[in-house]
Amino acid sequence: MQGLKTFILMFVMTIMLMFIGSLIGGRGGMIIALIIAGGMNFFSYWFSDKMVLSMYGAQPLAPEDRVYKITANLAKKANLPMPKVYMINEEQPNAFATGRNPEHAAVAVTRGLADIMTDDELAGVIGHELGHVSHRDILIGTVAATLAGAITYMANIARWAAIFDGSRRRDEEDSSPFVLILVSILAPIGAMLVQMAISRSREYKADDFGAQVSGNPLYLANALRKLQTWTSRIPMDANPATENMFIVSPLAGSKMANLFSTHPSTVERIRRLEEMAR
């Protein structure tokens, strides 16, 4: 199922990117867009973990650190390779996993998360992130963010092409500037909807995994309850393209962000975990 989702995601977004390229530059534009999509997928697959960790200034943790020890224990229980463990110097409590596969995975937590969570709650959160590692969900999120960014970039080019060259020829026919403008508006929205649909199913699956590997669904439920409270109070300077990687949206304090969140309702996630415990 995870492999099928990855294929569908890459296929749909690649088609969108090729379509925009064809509107801008005909068949040549379509080929260029396809090359861009392939190159960005390859680059994001191999280097996404380094890019994201660098973006947030993540620092590796020593084996004697509390977070490291909990991660090592859970990875052993889940029969997963030991991931690298990082700390992000942010007050907002949050966490994410990254890396192209379980053998090259990393788990990062913010300073705020380590400060407010008990050991059991921290185990629930890290178990959730190891769920993403186990299911190879990191690849899905990385490809989604990369292609969505490329589609948005191409859509901006299409908009400016419509403004400055409204009668661009394509395959012996004139392309209407209104079509370019419409596509430049709808394409990023479509890419975002694909991200949201995939990301929400990923979160539920990772919650189930975290509940099992930590030993009690209530550990994660209690952690999510704290996260829901604190993320709305403490802002985080997070890149929207990486929102889907975090256990809860780091942009939760924004009302507009809530309308287009890549995460399912935290209340619903807590309800499901409490039902699992019962």
**11 residue type, one letter:** F
Per-residue burial over 174-201, b = 16 or more CB atoms within 10 Å of its CB, e = otherwise:
ebebeebbebbeebbebbbebbbebbbe
In sequence order, the β-bridge partners of residue 99 are 105
Q: Given 3-state DSSP classes, what are the helix, strand and coil percentages for the chain, each rounded to the nearest 5?
A: 70, 10, 20
Stretch (H or E) spanning 244: none
Query: Is the separation of the CB atoms in 5 and 139 below 8 Å?
Result: no
**23 residue type, one letter:** L
Strand order in the sheet with 95-99: 59-60, 84-88, 105-110, 95-99
Question: How many Cα atoms occupy the beta-carbon half-sphere of 59 within 13 Å?
Answer: 8
Query: Is the separation of the CB atoms in 264 and 203 below 8 Å?
Result: yes
Positions marked active-site:
129
d(Cα 101, Cα 106) in Å, to the nearest integer? 10
**Angle, alpha carbons 24-8-264 (nearest 5°):** 105
